[in-house]
Amino acid sequence: MALYNFKKIMVVPTSKEFIDITLSKTQRKTPTVVHKHYQIHRIRHFYMRKVKFTQQNYHDRLSQILTDFPKLDDIHPFYADLMNVLYDKDHYKLALGQINIAKNLIDNVSKDYVRLMKYGDSLYRCKQLKRAALGRMCTIMKRQKQSLEYLEQVRQHLSRLPTIDPNTRTLLLCGYPNVGKSSFINKVTRADVEVQPYAFTTKSLFVGHMDYKYLRWQVVDTPGILDHPLEERNTIEMQAITALAHLRSAVLYVMDVSEQCGQTLEQQLELFNNIRPLFANKPLLIVANKCDVKKISELTEEDQACDKLLAHRVDGKMKGKKVHDVLNRLHLAVPAKRDEKARPPFIPEGARIGRKTMEVDAPKRKTERDLEVEMGDDYILDLQKYWDLMNQDEKYDVIPEIWEGHNIADYIDPDIMKNLEDLEKEEELKVKAGEYETDEESEDEEMQEIRQLAKQIREKRKLKIVCSKDKDVHGPRLPRTVKKVERKTLEKEMGDLGLDMTGKDDSHYAVNARRSRSVGVAKKRKREASVVPTSRTRSQSASRPPRDQSGVRDPKMAKQAKKLMKNQQKDMNRQGKKGEADRHVFDLKPKHLFSGKRKSGTNDHR
Closest approach, Cβ 462 to another protein, in A, equals 11
Binding residue (CB under 8 A) for another protein from 64, 104, 419, 534: 419
Closest approach, Cβ 435 to another protein, in A, equals 7
Q: Mind spelling out the 3-state secondary structure of 516-533?
A: HHHHHHHHHHCCCCCCCC
Q: Which stretch binds another protein (CB under 8 A): 138-146, 453-461, 506-514, 579-587?
A: 453-461
Closest approach, Cβ 489 to another protein, in A, equals 16
Based on the shown chain and the rule CB under 8 A, indicate whether residue 465 belongs to the binding site for another protein.
no
Nearer to another protein, 232 or 410 (CB): 410
The 10 Å CB-count burial string (b at 16+, else e) for 497-523 is eeeeeeeeeeeeeeebbeebeeeeeee
Annotate 96-119 with DSSP letters as a single string.
Answer: HHHHHHHHHHHHHHHHHHHHHHTT
Nearer to another protein, 230 or 450 (CB): 450
Query: What is the footprint of another protein within residues 209-238 (CB under 8 A)?
Result: none
Annotate 183-207 with DSSP letters as a single string.
Answer: HHHHHHSS------SSS----S-EE
Based on the shown chain and the rule CB under 8 A, indicate whether residue 301 belongs to the binding site for another protein.
no
Closest approach, Cβ 471 to another protein, in A, equals 19
Give whole-number Cα distances, 270 to 21, 266, 583, in Å: 58, 6, 122
Binding residue (CB under 8 A) for another protein from 1, 296, 375, 416: 416
Give the Cα separation of 66 and 144 in Å (integer).
14
Q: Which stretch binds another protein (CB under 8 A): 147-155, 230-238, 268-276, 454-462?
A: 454-462
Nearer to another protein, 73 or 388 (CB): 388
Q: Which stretch binds another protein (CB under 8 A): 184-192, 261-269, 405-413, 479-487?
A: 405-413
Q: Which stretch binds another protein (CB under 8 A): 122-130, 173-181, 186-194, 408-416?
A: 408-416
Assess contact for 181 and 173: CB atoms under 8 A.
yes
Q: Mind spelling out the 3-state secondary structure of 13-50?
A: CCHHHHHHHHHHHHHHHCCCCCCCCCCHHHHHHHHHHH
Nearer to another protein, 368 or 422 (CB): 422
Number of residues that bind another protein (CB under 8 A): 51
CB atoms within 10 A of CB 136: 17
Closest approach, Cβ 404 to another protein, in A, equals 7
**What torsion, rounded to 10 degrees, do the Cα atoms 484, 487, 490, 494 define?**
160
Closest approach, Cβ 411 to another protein, in A, equals 5
Binding mask 476-505 for another protein (x = CB under 8 A): ------------------x-xxxxx-----
Give whole-number Cα distances, 529 to 70, 82, 198, 532, 562, in Å: 113, 122, 130, 8, 13
Based on the shown chain and the rule CB under 8 A, indicate whether residue 409 belongs to the binding site for another protein.
yes
CA 404 to chain centroid: 42
DSSP β-ladder status, 215-221 and 250-256: unpaired
Binding residue (CB under 8 A) for another protein from 331, 343, 406, 584: 406
Q: Three-state SS for 315?
A: helix
Closest approach, Cβ 112 to another protein, in A, equals 53
Binding mask 424-443 for another protein (x = CB under 8 A): x-xx-------xx-x-----
**DSSP character at residue 380:** -
Closest approach, Cβ 442 to another protein, in A, equals 13
**DSSP character at residue 378:** G
Helices (H), 360-486: 368-375, 416-433, 445-471
End-to-end CA distance of the chain: 70
Query: What is the footprint of another protein within residues 362-401 (CB under 8 A)?
Result: 388-391, 394, 397, 399-401
Footprint of another protein (CB under 8 A): 388-391, 394, 397, 399-414, 416-417, 419-420, 422-424, 426-427, 435-436, 438, 447, 450-451, 453-454, 456-458, 460-461, 464, 494, 496-500
